[in-house]
Amino acid sequence: MEGEKLILDKYIELSRDMGGKASIEGDTVHIIVPSEKLVEAASKLFNEYQCDFRVCVGTDERPLNGYFTITHIFTDNRNGLYVLLKTYIEPQDPKVPSITNAVPGADWCEMEARDLLGIEFTGRTPYRLVLPPEWPKGLHPLRKDVPYNYRPQIRGVSEKVSTTTETGVIPIGPYHPALHEPEYFELYVEGEKVVDVKYRGFHVHRGIEKLGETRMTYQQVNFLAERICGICGFEHSSCYALAVEKAAKLDVPERAQFIRSIVLEVERIHSHLLWLGVAFHVLGYDTGFMHVWRIRERVMYLAELLTGSRKTYGINLIGGVRRDINEEKKQKTLEVLRELEKEYKGLIEVALSVPQVRKRASGTGVLPREDALKLSVEGPTARASGIDKDARRDLPYAAYKYASFRVPVYTEGDNLARLLVRVDELVESMAIIEQLLDKIPKGPILLEKYEIPEGRVGVQVVEAPRGGDVHFVITGHGKPYRWRVRAPTYSNIPALRVMLRDQPLADAPLTIASIDPCFSCTDRVLIVRENGRREWLRLTGGLKI
Amino acid sequence: MSFVKKIIKPVEVLVVASKTGRVTIKYPFEEPWISPEFRGKIEIDPTKCIGCGACVNACPPNALEMIESEDKKTLRYFVGRCIFCWRCIDVCPVGAIKGTRNFELATNDPLDLYDYIVHNRVKCRECGKVTGETTRMLKYVLEKAFVTENYNNKCPDCRKKIFINAISMRRTGPVGEKT
For A402-447, the pLDDT digits (tens) are 999 999 999 999 999 999 999 999 999 999 999 999 999 999 999 9
Task: Decide if B9 is inside a domain.
Answer: no
Is pLDDT larger for residue A282 or for residue A4? A282
Residue A526 has a pLDDT of: 40
Burial class of A346 by CB neighbour count within 10 A (0 to 12, 13 to 18, 19+): middle
Residue A418 has a pLDDT of: 94
Instruction: Please check whether residues A478 and A359 belong to one and the same domain.
Output: yes
Whether residues B39 and A308 touch (CB distance < 8 A) is answered with yes
Task: Decide if A26 is inside a domain.
Answer: yes
Task: Decide if A43 is inside a domain.
Answer: yes
Whether residues B13 and A350 touch (CB distance < 8 A) is answered with yes
Contacts of A294 in chain B (CB under 8 A): 20, 23
Is pLDDT larger for residue A519 or for residue A499? A499
Task: Decide if B178 is inside a domain.
Answer: no
Is pLDDT larger for residue B6 or for residue A431? A431
pLDDT (mean) for A305-333: 93
Q: Is the pLDDT of residue B1 over 70?
A: no
Residue B70 has a pLDDT of: 84
Residue A149 has a pLDDT of: 85
Q: Is the pLDDT of residue A397 over 60?
A: yes
Task: Decide if A128 is inside a domain.
Answer: no
Which chain B residue is nearest to residue A289, measuring alpha carbons?
Answer: B13
Whether A358 and chain B come into contact, CB under 8 Å, resolves to: no
What does the DSSP assignment read for A292-358? HHHHHHHHHHHHHHHHSSSSS---EETTEES----HHHHHHHHHHHHHHHHHHHHHHHHHHHSHHHH
> Which of A200-214, A357-371, A484-498, B12-26 is the least confident region?
A200-214
- In chain B, count of helices (H) and strands (E)? 6, 6
Mutate to test the interface with A, among B55, B85, B86, B100 (most CBs of A within 10 A): B85
pLDDT tens for A186-230 read 888 888 888 888 888 887 778 889 989 998 999 999 999 998 888
Q: What is the CATH number of the domain that holds A55?
A: 3.30.460.80
Kindly list the residues of chain B whose beta carbon comes within 8 Å of any beta carbon in chain A.
6, 9-10, 12-13, 16-17, 20, 23, 33-39, 57-61, 83-87, 90
Whether residues B60 and A224 touch (CB distance < 8 A) is answered with yes
Percent of chain A with pLDDT over 70: 93
Task: Decide if B95 is inside a domain.
Answer: yes
Q: Which of A305, A350, A353 sits opposite B35 (nearest CB)?
A: A305
Q: Is the pLDDT of residue A491 over 60?
A: yes
pLDDT (mean) for A528-537: 34
**How does the average pLDDT of chain A come out, rounded?**
88
Q: What is the CATH number of the domain that holds B104?
A: 3.30.70.20
Task: Decide if B6 is inside a domain.
Answer: no
By C-alpha distance, which of A9, A84, A19 is closest to A45? Answer: A84
Residue A161 has a pLDDT of: 65
Residue A515 has a pLDDT of: 86
Q: Is the pLDDT of residue B49 over 60?
A: yes
Q: Is the pLDDT of residue B47 over 50?
A: yes
CB A270 within 8 A of CB A303: yes
Whether residues A346 and B16 touch (CB distance < 8 A) is answered with yes
pLDDT tier, A318 (very low <50, low <70, confident <90, very high otherwise): very high
**How does the average pLDDT of chain B come out, rounded?**
87
User: Does residue A233 sit in helix, strand or coil?
Assistant: helix
Strands B97-99 and A168-172: unpaired
Question: Containing domain of residue B137, as a range?
Answer: 33-171
Residue B33 has a pLDDT of: 86
User: Does residue B31 sit in helix, strand or coil?
Assistant: coil
Number of domains in chain A: 2
Kindly state the DSSP code that residue A71 receives in the 8-state scheme. E
Contacts of A323 in chain B (CB under 8 A): 37
pLDDT (mean) for A312-333: 93
Task: Decide if A529 is inside a domain.
Answer: no
Instruction: Please check whether residues A219 and A73 belong to one and the same domain.
Output: no
Strands A193-200 and A184-190: antiparallel
pLDDT tens for B80-126 read 999 999 999 999 999 999 999 999 999 999 899 999 999 998 888 87
Q: B9-13: which pairs have CB atoms within 8 A and are 24 or more residues apart?
A: B9/A349, B9/A350, B9/A353, B10/A350, B10/A353, B10/A354, B10/A355, B12/A350, B13/A287, B13/A288, B13/A291, B13/A347, B13/A350, B13/A351
pLDDT tier, A536 (very low <50, low <70, confident <90, very high otherwise): very low
Mutate to test the interface with B, among A223, A259, A348 (most CBs of B within 10 A): A223
Instruction: Please check whether residues A483 and A378 belong to one and the same domain.
Output: yes
Q: Is the pLDDT of residue A270 over 80?
A: yes
CA distances from A468 to A374, A385, B175 (A): 16, 16, 69
Instruction: Please check whether residues A212 and A114 belong to one and the same domain.
Output: no
CA dist A479 and A296 (Å) reads 37
- Min CA distance, A391 vs chain B (Å)? 28
Residue B178 has a pLDDT of: 54
Which chain B residue is nearest to residue A299, measuring alpha carbons?
Answer: B35
Is pLDDT larger for residue B138 or for residue A528? B138
- Min CA distance, B103 vs chain A (Å)? 11
A-B C-beta contacts closer than 8 Å: 68
Which chain A residue is nearest to residue B56, measuring alpha carbons?
Answer: A220
Number of domains in chain B: 1
Whether residues A350 and B12 touch (CB distance < 8 A) is answered with yes
Element (H, E) at A435: helix A415-439
CA dist A428 and A363 (Å) reads 26
User: Does residue A36 sit in helix, strand or coil?
Assistant: helix
Contacts of B13 in chain A (CB under 8 A): 287-288, 291, 347, 350-351
Residue A72 has a pLDDT of: 95
pLDDT tier, A179 (very low <50, low <70, confident <90, very high otherwise): low
Amino acid of residue A77? N
Q: A10-14: which pairs have CB atoms within 8 A and are 24 or more residues apart?
A: A10/A49, A11/A81, A11/A83, A14/A41, A14/A44, A14/A45, A14/A49
Which chain B residue is nearest to residue A344, measuring alpha carbons?
Answer: B16
Q: Which of A105, A122, A139 is the last residue of a domain?
A: A122
Question: Containing domain of residue A57, as a range?
Answer: 2-122
Q: Which of A35-44, A194-203, A524-533 has the highest mean pLDDT?
A: A35-44
Which chain B residue is nearest to residue A345, measuring alpha carbons?
Answer: B16
By C-alpha distance, which of B108, B40, B44 is closest to B76? Answer: B44
pLDDT (mean) for A376-385: 93
- Min CA distance, A353 vs chain B (Å)? 6
pLDDT tens for A112-128 read 999 999 999 999 988 88
pLDDT (mean) for A332-356: 93
Task: Decide if B108 is inside a domain.
Answer: yes
CA dist B120 and B74 (Å) reads 9
Whether residues B9 and A350 touch (CB distance < 8 A) is answered with yes
Residue A200 has a pLDDT of: 81
CA dist A273 and A341 (Å) reads 12
Task: Decide if A177 is inside a domain.
Answer: no
Instruction: Please check whether residues A113 and A224 belong to one and the same domain.
Output: no
Whether residues A301 and B33 touch (CB distance < 8 A) is answered with yes
Q: Is the pLDDT of residue A348 over 50?
A: yes
pLDDT tens for B147-167 read 666 677 778 888 888 888 888
- Min CA distance, B136 vs chain A (Å)? 27
Kindly state the DSSP code that residue A22 receives in the 8-state scheme. E
Contacts of B63 in chain A (CB under 8 A): none
